[in-house]
């Protein structure tokens, strides 16, 4: 399965995530958009990007009964590299989200790779995330 994810935030502190899951034949299995809240803090762009990945992993845990290998594509260079390459994390709230992501990944019965993708190739997830934060 291939999953495209994106997070979005507004100056008001609200945020949203969007993801779209494709099967290996490029058919859409599921699209989802969700408003997110972050305990005690406004939703920043990086928080929204982490939450998009976390929400996608949680959904994959429920639907990937055949233990297929999965690839999650995100257009956030910072978040992807913090997860896969150990880039420095300067904020405690992002460190918590990073640890949660890695914990979810380590407890799976199937393989998930997380990769960076160019923003213009992530339009469906981007539209879902922006749409939910804008009330569309």
Residues 44-71 have pLDDT tens digits of: 999 999 999 999 999 999 999 888 899 9
Tokens describing residue 64:
């990937």
How confident is the model at residue 52, as a pLDDT? Answer: 97
Residues 80-126 have pLDDT tens digits of: 999 998 899 999 989 999 999 999 999 898 999 999 999 999 999 99
The number of helix segments (H) and strand segments (E) in the chain equals 4, 5
How confident is the model at residue 39, as a pLDDT? Answer: 74
How confident is the model at residue 13, as a pLDDT? Answer: 78
- CATH number among 3.10.129.10, 3.40.50.2300, 3.30.420.10, 2.40.40.20, domain 2-133: 3.30.420.10
Q: How many CB atoms lie within 10 A of CB 5?
A: 32
**Which 3 state secondary structure label does DSSP give 39?**
coil
Do the beta carbons of residue 79 and residue 102 sit within 8 Å?
A: no
Residue 6: C-alpha distances to residues 65, 109, 110 (Å): 24, 24, 22
The pTM score is 0.94
The domain limits of the chain are 2-133
Question: Distance between CA atoms of 58 and 33, rounded to whole angstroms?
Answer: 14
How confident is the model at residue 40, as a pLDDT? Answer: 66
Residues 23-51 have pLDDT tens digits of: 989 999 999 999 998 776 778 999 999 99
């Amino acid at each position: 399965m291939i999953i495209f994810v994106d997070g979005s935030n507004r100056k008001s502190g609200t945020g949203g995530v969007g993801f779209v899951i494709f099967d290996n034949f490029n058919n859409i299995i599921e699209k989802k958009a969700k408003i997110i809240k972050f305990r005690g803090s406004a939703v920043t762009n990086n928080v929204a990007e982490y939450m998009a990945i976390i929400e996608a992993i949680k959904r994959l845990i429920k639907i990937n009964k055949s233990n297929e290998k999965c690839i999650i594509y995100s257009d956030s260079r910072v978040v992807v590299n913090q997860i896969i390459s150990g880039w420095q994390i300067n904020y405690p709230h992002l460190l918590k989200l990073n640890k949660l992501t890695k914990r979810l990944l380590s407890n799976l019965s199937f393989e998930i790779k997380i990769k960076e993708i160019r923003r213009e190739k992530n339009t469906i997830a981007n539209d879902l995330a922006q749409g939910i934060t804008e009330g569309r």
